[in-house]
Structure 1
Amino acid sequence: MAMFSVSGPGMKGMVGMAARVFAAMSRARISVVLITQSSSEYSISFCVPQSDCVRAERAMQEEFYLELKEGLLEPLAVTERLAIISV
């Protein structure tokens, strides 16, 4: 699995961030396996299959281009080669 974290001061109170993540992944035909959002609304993290990591990163860069360019979002954090364990 690969985990992406989208965070930044521009996220607080911004409506539709999770919807934009899912829409970008849907357009890229990538299945989101897990998603979590902090209670402070400062970040969203989600996991995709490792084989889709490059396409997912490209899709996120395109979707949030303006926010990243203007500094409303921090650079995407990508952690690769993970496993998900559910208890």
Structure 2
Amino acid sequence: MKDWMDFNGDREVDSTERFFADEMLCSSREEHIALFGDAGDFGEEVDEDEEKEDDLMYAGLDRDDLEMMEPEERREALEEAGLDPDDYDFD
């Protein structure tokens, strides 16, 4: 069975492949700092509002359209898209 860390397919896992595999398995900023001494991809703080806008976009929803909806209709649309309506403020 092929080792999943053998990225180049030479049937040997070298130090570079092990490094990339370890980095891929990091699940938090703290873990990345402990293993590699830097924050890696976890270095940038994520703007929650920007992340929420991205979630709307990926769900195929438009913020302007949602703002024009009645509150109950908007709640339904967000729930159908798998998003928590309580995470969004449309006041």
On whether the aligned pair clears a TM of 0.5, the verdict is no
TM-score in terms of structure 2 length: 0.30
Larger RCO: 1 or 2 (CA < 8 Å, sep 6+): 1
The structure with the larger Rg is 2
* Larger relative strand fraction: 1
TM-score in terms of structure 1 length: 0.31
